[in-house]
Chains A and B, each alone.
Chain A
């Protein structure tokens, strides 16, 4: 089949541009991967694994787009490849916004107890309804206080 002279048959004869599809799937998977990677401190504290997936997806998408625009007689994907890339960029922007901005919107807590200060006294009910004061927890080794958000 003479692709170079395909003329009106171009749309039928062009090859499947797989990097566009694989790149798009990897980029979408990258967004959802953080649901998994957030369970492990090493991939949560800095989301390198998720960013790596976005990077692989972007690379494949760009390879596919270079093919589609560079050799349009051979490869499909100028239109849907561009749409895939645009969607992937939006997903990446959303992920970055949440991870690097929203999750970092924590209060200043300027009055929180500092090292060397006394821990403010309290008494609160435990899981059995019994009231526990800070002083009850300190002997003999001190206590680790963890303020947990409860529904994370």
Chain B
């Protein structure tokens, strides 16, 4: 499909559980799925930005992620 990023599959929600992002019964046929969430993890593996929405219809906008990355890098763009 030409994605410029990896699209990872967490079919049994193991990583979703590890990140404590499980939304029980929220999927089709009441399966457990992820709540929407976005993180920026820097090169050292440290979380620099976490966005946990209060409304499942409201997700982070691309500008928010870009802003968070810029802020974490001290305004550098590289």
- Which residues from chain A sit less than 8 Å from chain B, CB to CB? 38, 41, 44-45, 99, 103-104, 106-107, 109-120, 122, 124-127, 132, 134-135, 137-151
Contact = CB atoms under 8 A, between A and B. Distances in A.
Interface of B: 1, 3, 6-10, 14-16, 18-24, 26-28, 33-50, 52-58, 60-61, 65, 69, 72, 78
A142 B50 contact: no
Contact of B22 (A107, A132, A137, A150): A107
Given A112-B52, A132-B6, A151-B27, A145 B38 contact: yes
Contacts of B8: 124-126, 132
14 contacts: A104-B55, A109-B35, A112-B50, A112-B52, A119-B39, A119-B41, A134-B41, A137-B41, A138-B42, A144-B41, A144-B65, A146-B60, A147-B38, A150-B27
A120 B19 contact: yes
B20 A112 contact: yes
Given A103-B56, A145-B41, A149-B33, 19 more contacts: A41-B61, A103-B57, A104-B54, A111-B20, A112-B21, A112-B50, A119-B45, A119-B46, A120-B18, A124-B9, A126-B7, A127-B7, A134-B41, A134-B45, A138-B41, A142-B40, A142-B72, A144-B65, A148-B34
B48 to A, nearest CB: 6
A149 B26 contact: yes
Contact of A107 (B7, B35, B45, B46): B35
Given A142-B72, A145-B41, A124 B10 contact: yes
B19 A142 contact: no
Contacts of A143: 40-41
A144 B50 CA distance: 10
